[in-house]
Chains A and B, each alone.
Chain A
Amino acid sequence: DAGVTQSPTHLIKTRGQQVTLRCSPKSGHDTVSWYQQALGQGPQFIFQYYEEEERQRGNFPDRFSGHQFPNYSSELNVNALLLGDSALYLCASSRYFTGDLGAFFGQGTRLTVV
Chain B
Amino acid sequence: GQQVMQIPQYQHVQEGEDFTTYCNSSTTLSNIQWYKQRPGGHPVFLIQLVKSGEVKKQKRLTFQFGEAKKNSSLHITATQTTDVGTYFCAGRSGANNLFFGTGTRLTVIP
Contacts and interface: CB of A to CB of B under 8 A. Distances in A.
Interface of A: 33, 35, 41-45, 48, 55-56, 58-59, 90, 92, 96, 99-108
Among the interface residues A41, A48, A99, A102, which one has the most CB atoms of the partner chain B within 10 A?
A: A99
A58 B31 CA distance: 18
B45 A102 contact: yes
Interface string B42-55: 11110010000000
Interface of B: 1, 4, 31, 33, 35, 41-45, 48, 88, 90, 92, 95-103
Given A42-B88, A42-B103, A101-B48, A56 B43 contact: no
28 contacts: A33-B97, A33-B98, A35-B100, A41-B102, A41-B103, A42-B88, A42-B100, A43-B43, A43-B90, A43-B100, A44-B100, A45-B98, A48-B97, A56-B95, A90-B42, A99-B31, A99-B92, A100-B96, A100-B97, A100-B98, A101-B48, A102-B45, A103-B33, A103-B45, A105-B35, A105-B43, A105-B44, A107-B41
B96 A106 contact: no
B2 to A, nearest CB: 10
Contact of A43 (B31, B44, B48, B88): B88
Contact of A48 (B4, B48, B88, B96): B96
B25 to A, nearest CB: 13
